[in-house]
Amino acid sequence: MHEGVDIDRQIYLAFLHDRKNQGLCCVYSQKGGMDIEAVAEEDPSAIHTHSFSIADGLTEEAATKICTDLGLTGKTHPQGIEQLQKIYKMFLSVDATQIEVNPWAVTPDLDVYCVDAKINVDENADFRQKEIVEAHSQSDAGEDVDLNEAKATSVGLNYIALDGNIGCMVNGAGLAMSTMDIIQLKGGMPANFLDVGGSASTEQVKTAFEILSGHPKVTGIFVNIFGGIMKCDVIAQGIINAASQVDVKVPITVRLVGTNADLGMKMISEFVSNNKHIQMSVIPDFDAAADHVVKMSK
């Protein structure tokens, strides 16, 4: 925590990956303290971008120019250069994909402070950033932390909560988007984006199923898997394991296509035959499956 400061000027500053130039960039503007997207729309000339290679890094010459462009004068100028270089050093050390400082504030006494910041860390670098991962998992931020998201992340799954009532378990972002689109086209609303990826284990699938079935708003579950590297029989076994151990009270629609799809559908059909209290349907056709899950979720 830092003591409160009086603010005379608000500046926007961000370090980001620059995919176009295959390097990094510093985005900055004198119009800080507001939504940068709104600034970009209303006055795009107010936003500046300095691209640079990771090999060269942020040079003192570049940092000097950025601070000059931002109108930092007097003692704020060397302060700004020093802080820019430290923020960039932090960007590298924590494997960040984004560090956004808004506002970067100048006080009436001509001192520069980072008043608020957002930091995103590359999930692929979690093994190097164990301290940050641990701090995030133990966060006590209340409503700001989605427990389902935390549970999914802990076992290597991607989960994003939405506002609907149909839980979606898919593999691959493209299939996830098309699944959510067709659900809405059929008059339903997805409750989440849950991607089990291309090589999930049976245990990961079981965890995904637990997350979906435990969601208070979910009235139906749509499992939509295209088997490639991910084998449909692995998904089927995960579903069977979860349904055997978790009291699932909502209807489940399963669509399996691709590697070992026939075997997966046979496994689930035999399981349902022996457990008639579980509402589970296997429908290979995408359109028909979407129709069914929306109908059963009302």
Nearest to 133 by CA among 147, 116, 153, 118: 153
For residues 275, 276, 282, 288, the Cα torsion angle rounded to the nearest 10 degrees is -160
The pLDDT value given to residue 139: 56
Among the residues of 4-75, which ranges form H helices?
36-42, 60-69
CATH superfamily of 9-131: ATP-grasp fold, B domain (3.30.470.20)
In single-letter form, the type of residue at position 257 comes to: V
Neighbours of 30 (CB within 10 A): 16
pLDDT at position 138, please?
Answer: 58
Going residue by residue through the chain (298 aa), what tens digit of pLDDT does each one get? 556 788 999 999 999 999 888 999 999 999 998 888 888 888 999 999 999 999 999 999 999 999 999 999 999 999 999 999 999 999 999 999 999 999 999 999 999 999 888 888 887 888 888 887 777 665 544 444 467 777 777 777 888 888 899 999 998 888 888 999 999 999 999 998 888 876 667 778 788 888 887 788 899 999 999 988 778 998 888 888 888 887 778 899 999 999 999 999 999 999 999 988 889 999 999 999 999 999 999 8
CA angle 45, 46, 47 (to 5 degrees): 90
Q: Is 61 a catalytic residue?
A: no
User: Do residues 153 and 260 make contact, with C-beta atoms less than 8 angstroms apart?
Assistant: no
Which CATH number is associated with domain 144-296?
3.40.50.261
pTM: 0.56
What pLDDT sits at residue 63? 97
DSSP code, position 8: S
For the chain, strand residue ranges (E) read: 9-18, 23-29, 47-52, 96-106, 112-114, 117-121, 158-161, 166-170, 192-195, 220-227, 252-258, 280-282
Catalytic annotation, pick one of 12, 28, 88, 159:
12
Catalytic residue among 28, 100, 210, 270, which? 100
62 and 49 Cβ atoms separated by less than 8 Å? no
- pLDDT in the model for residue 144: 46
What are the phi and psi torsion angles at 178 (to 5°)?
-65, -35
Domain residue spans in the chain?
A: 9-131, 144-296
What confidence score (pLDDT) does residue 221 get? 93
| Whether residue 100 lies in the annotated active site | yes
The type of residue at 234 is V
Distance CA 46, CA 39 (A): 7
Q: Which amino acid is at 209?
A: F
Nearest one of 275, 228, 282, 277 to 254, comparing CA atoms: 282
